[in-house]
A = this chain, B = another copy of it.
Amino acid sequence: MLDSLFKPKAVALIGASTKELSIGNVIIKNLQRYNFQGPIYPINPKAPDIRGIKAYPTIFDVPGDIDVAHIVIPPPMVPQAVEDCGKKGVKNVIINTAGFKEMGIEGEALQNDFVARGKNYGVRIFGPNCQGIINSDPQYNAYCDFTFTYPKPGYISIVAQSGGVGAVIMQNLFDLDVGMRMYASNGNACDISIPEIIQYWGNDDETRVILLYVESLDDPKYFMDVAYEVASKKPILAMNAGRTEVGAKAATSHTGGLAGGKATDLIFKKTGILAFSDAQEMCQAAVAFASQPIPKGNRVGMITNTGGPAIIATDELVEGGCEMPPLSDKAIVKLTETMFESASINNPIDVVATAGAPQFRSAVDVMMDEEQIDSVYINFVTPPFVDCEAVAHEFAEVSNQKRKPIVCNYMTDKAQWTGTTKILKDGGIPCYDFPGTAAKALISLCRYNALRSKEKGVVKQFNDCNKREVENIIGNAKTSGRKILSALEVYSILDAYKIPSAGWKIASDSQSAVDAAEEIGYPVVIKADSSEIIHKSDVGAVAVNLKNKDEVFAKADEMMNKFSVKDLNFFVQKFHPGGRELIIGAKAETNLGHLIMFGMGGIYVEILKDVSFELAPVTDVEAEEMLSSIKMTKLLKGYRGEKGIYREAVIEIVERLSQLVTENPSLKELDLNPLLAFEDRIIVVDARISI
């Protein structure tokens, strides 16, 4: 485990400097100021001491054992320094120096060099191109980092791929007067990885909440394994940047490209990590997670001593999916006894500005007792004519009962109301400066409850699938160097996995197209099939609703003249008029598996981008959620007299497609577009597969 990294007994700094404005000086200063509990060993070939601490010419001159050695010297010197650390028996190096893999092939070679040397000596490497680690535990006070925020001990641990974002988060928690447990920002992450750190914190009892910022996942499978395990033990809140590139990608690329970049958010969702798109919102939620219980539902009781902020908070809560149920008769009777006459006894309870401790306490107690209330939101402005400390004491007392979560929009000048502020803080009540902010934090608690209590479902295994057949088809296509499968191959694969498509036959000329049509039964569709014809409908290679043999013959003849390609065949299918157009797709993601996409076809996917995604293998619950989470989902259930679609059959196709790509990972992109969904059947009428 990473004990020797996060709980170092002695720290060295290779490249320690007497120059104030240098990393080699700042790290020593940070260790000193943060009161590091072990010896600090500055390594510098010339200086006898640095910042008043005895320096050593080389790592070999250091008298004791070293758990962590920072390396801040120029890149070309780093591999030798790592080797020296190995020889000295240093357990971990934190390489702050930049200029390695992120700078091109030369840097990458250097990085590979020291990674190999580290491995050789059993030295674990943190970084390079990184900030470092912090542990606020007073037993260690380890500030092995060149940043500037000196956090107080707490229960939130932060790991950030970007040091800048890590610094923002750490500083914000500090500004909010909230403690931090451990911090890590590991830059290029050549050895010690983010999942390894998360796993370590999963076993750290003092870490109650983990905050994560990532830009990319190098090994998504490993990340998922760890995330499943740790997220089942404690909340992980995470943010994933770069979402508009995703949007841009989705807008430009048509087929399957719609799925690009979504993967990380889906990993978060699948493993039970709570995702955020705003760093401030994530920090503010973390404060609530660190001290409050998770609500059992989304029903909020609100208490306020001022009107406007209650309206704003209500807007926010309702938009965020919370409910504000009315109070029970019993509660109203009780409140009528304790509240001032001008109070409004309802949800929200407006205790009015003159309310003191007895009124507030009665309101909070009622909310705690109400069965149909899961959490409590308080708007508390500090009127200068009220004993606010007494009010705060009541809040703190109830909060300490840990029955239901409380958040507070605390409207005051903290520099004046110091006593009240301290009582609330010591009571563990998460306080926010705006009604909307407090509401968002509470919404996050509710979202987490929903995520955590969601039924996981099962991945159905269909035993009637012919994997061998698919392997043969893919093998043949590979052998002949093709990346896009022919219609025959595509439909054979669908047949092999019992994904229902319109009845089809292959014909080589106009007459055999007619023969095929006669056998299938009219009306039919014919499609000119060739490796050289990609977007069939755009180039006139599709003719629909052909009602007799003359029409079939004429169209086939026309296409034969039009497309003078040597591998031309006709693909003859039953034509199914009507039905709701759907689209189901799969796309392979590097090192991860496949994203599965579901949506309504045509304008809905093209203009509205009305699609949903999940990671394969998709469970039955996830497949159902894919159908219910698109914007136009109501249409699927039937609308205004129109019949709904055969939902169970669509879900089964999603599941079969998921099994198909999971069992055949070399399928790169697969699109069933469109499927026609009817009340009693679902039929794939066009499909493409690339390998």
> From residue A393, how far is it (CB to closest CB) to chain B in Å?
16
Find out whether the CB atom of A385 lies under 8 angstroms from the CB atom of B26.
Answer: yes
> From residue A467, how far is it (CB to closest CB) to chain B in Å?
37
Q: Known contacts A162-B309, A382-B148; is A631 also within 8 Å of B608 by CB? A: yes
Which of chain B's residues have a CB closer than 8 A to the CB of A434? 168, 172, 278-280
A615 to B285, CA, bound (A): 39
> From residue A275, how far is it (CB to closest CB) to chain B in Å?
14
Find out whether the CB atom of A241 lies under 8 angstroms from the CB atom of B171.
Answer: no
Which of chain B's residues have a CB closer than 8 A to the CB of A22? 385
Find out whether the CB atom of A433 lies under 8 angstroms from the CB atom of B168.
Answer: yes
Q: Known contacts A241-B312, A308-B215; is A639 also within 8 Å of B603 by CB? A: yes
CB < 8 Å neighbour of A413 from B21, B148, B607: B148
Which of chain B's residues have a CB closer than 8 A to the CB of A606? 639-640
- Judge whether A243 is part of the interface by a CB distance below 8 angstroms: yes
> From residue A329, how far is it (CB to closest CB) to chain B in Å?
23
> From residue A50, how far is it (CB to closest CB) to chain B in Å?
14
> From residue A161, how far is it (CB to closest CB) to chain B in Å?
7
Find out whether the CB atom of A21 lies under 8 angstroms from the CB atom of B171.
Answer: no
- Judge whether A521 is part of the interface by a CB distance below 8 angstroms: no
- Judge whether A411 is part of the interface by a CB distance below 8 angstroms: yes
Find out whether the CB atom of B632 lies under 8 angstroms from the CB atom of A98.
Answer: no
**Closest partner residue, chain B, to A161 (CB atom):** B308
Interface size on A, residues (CB 8 A): 84
- Judge whether A3 is part of the interface by a CB distance below 8 angstroms: no
Which of chain B's residues have a CB closer than 8 A to the CB of A444? none
List residues 173-214 of chain A with CB under 8 A from any CB of chain B.
174-175, 213
List residues 136-150 of chain A with CB under 8 A from any CB of chain B.
146-150
> From residue A515, how far is it (CB to closest CB) to chain B in Å?
31
**Closest partner residue, chain B, to A169 (CB atom):** B434
Find out whether the CB atom of A241 lies under 8 angstroms from the CB atom of B311.
Answer: yes
- Judge whether A419 is part of the interface by a CB distance below 8 angstroms: no
Which of chain B's residues have a CB closer than 8 A to the CB of A411? 164, 167-168, 171
Q: Known contacts A168-B411, A171-B433, A639-B603; is A163 also within 8 Å of B308 by CB? A: yes
Which of chain B's residues have a CB closer than 8 A to the CB of A146? 383-385
Contact with B along A10-49 (1 / 0, CB 8 A): 0000000000011101100110000000000000000000
A279 to B433, CA, bound (A): 10
Find out whether the CB atom of B242 lies under 8 angstroms from the CB atom of A311.
Answer: yes
Find out whether the CB atom of B309 lies under 8 angstroms from the CB atom of A384.
Answer: no
> From residue A240, how far is it (CB to closest CB) to chain B in Å?
10
> From residue A24, how far is it (CB to closest CB) to chain B in Å?
9
- Judge whether A398 is part of the interface by a CB distance below 8 angstroms: no
Which of chain B's residues have a CB closer than 8 A to the CB of A304? 164
Which of chain B's residues have a CB closer than 8 A to the CB of A409? 168
Which of chain B's residues have a CB closer than 8 A to the CB of A247? 318-319
A311 to B162, CA, bound (A): 10
A26 to B384, CA, bound (A): 7
Q: Known contacts A315-B241, A632-B608; is A381 also within 8 Å of B167 by CB? A: yes
A215 to B416, CA, bound (A): 30
Find out whether the CB atom of B279 lies under 8 angstroms from the CB atom of A435.
Answer: yes
Query: Among the interface residues A315, A386, A416, which one has the most CB atoms of the partner chain B within 10 A?
Result: A315
A632 to B412, CA, bound (A): 45
Which of chain B's residues have a CB closer than 8 A to the CB of A634? 607
CB < 8 Å neighbour of A171 from B98, B242, B342, B412: B412
Q: Known contacts A168-B435, A244-B314, A314-B244; is A384 also within 8 Å of B147 by CB? A: yes
Could you list 9 examples of A-B contacts with CB < 8 Å?
A162-B309, A164-B305, A171-B412, A241-B308, A244-B315, A247-B318, A279-B434, A280-B433, A606-B639
Q: Apart from A148-B413, A165-B308, what 8 extra A-B contacts exist at CB < 8 Å?
A: A21-B387, A148-B416, A164-B309, A164-B411, A168-B309, A247-B318, A278-B436, A280-B436
Q: Which residues of A contact B (CB under 8 A)?
A: 21-23, 25-26, 29-30, 98-99, 103, 146-150, 160-168, 171-172, 174-175, 213, 215, 239, 241-244, 247, 277-280, 304-312, 314-315, 318-319, 342, 379, 381-387, 409, 411-413, 416-417, 433-437, 602-603, 606-608, 631-632, 634-635, 639-640
